[in-house]
Amino acid sequence: MTSGKVWLVGAGPGDIGLMTVRGLALIGEADVVVYDSLASKELLEKVRPGTELINVGKRGGMHKAEQDEINEILFQQATSGKVVVRLKGGDPFLFGRGGEEALYLRARGIDVGVVPGVSSSLAVPELAGIPVTHRNVSSGVTIMTGHQMEGGSLNWVSLARSGSTLVILMGMSNLEMNMYHLMEGGMPSGTPVAVVQEGSTPRQKVLVTCVEHAYEDCRKNGISAPAIIVVGDVVSLRESLGDLR
């Protein structure tokens, strides 16, 4: 049987209105949609009758399927001749393991395409009135994952002293330690921090605090994952801009 194709499709930050036209069209054409927890459930209502939906997402560290299982699901569905949409929150190649999946499938002769998505790392702060760069405030931005708290791959001193905006994804479970590392690396404890929960959606909550008090303030105010953490002086611009949704 002729192999099908796997499309790695970015679902954007949560608001269905920020989904790309190309991605939405592919969802409507797919035989199978393999989706993550962060992909908007409204998108799943756009499939045609008979489309198989496979949930492989995770919440709070609980996995529906491990990455090896997901790779195999995509491979098996494609080899049966189906058009598969692998629907991922944000953009497929930004901490979405889309690159891993594409390499796995290509190495096994599967046709793969990608549809970039609006990344939550940029969109969520923007919609909350926080430009991640501003020529008078910050000329750079570093996007990082909060999971690498104890790993050797992050240079906390360089991050703390870069002067660039830091955008931390998947960082709520390690928020306390990550803020500690930044202060230990030389970042002033009063550096502004914004934590945006469920950004771009009607459930969005925004907490503005500082590095020293970020963890405790989130705990007191019930701010939890999924959330984007923005660290840097650009956070102060929200006071003038307000919500931009």
What is the residue whose two structure tokens read 């949704």?
245
Helices H / strands E in the chain, number of each? 9, 12
Residue at 16: amino acid letter: I
The two structure tokens encoding residue 184: 């230990």
Calpha distance 190→183 (Å, rounded): 9
| Three-state SS letters, 160-177 | HHCCCEEEEECCCCCHHH
> What does each C-alpha distance from 121 to 210, 239, 245 come to in angstroms?
19, 20, 15
Q: How far is 44 from 33, CA to CA, in rounded Å?
A: 8
Q: At what angle do helices 175-184 and 214-221 cross, to 10 degrees?
A: 160
Supply the residues annotated as catalytic.
36, 58, 170
Q: Do 101 and 34 touch, CB atoms closer than 8 A?
A: no
Q: Look up residue 159 and give its two tokens.
A: 């991050």
Q: For 61-174, where are the alpha helices, taking DSSP H only?
A: 67-79, 98-107, 120-127, 156-161
Count Cα neighbours of 30 within 13 Å in the Cβ-side half-sphere: 32
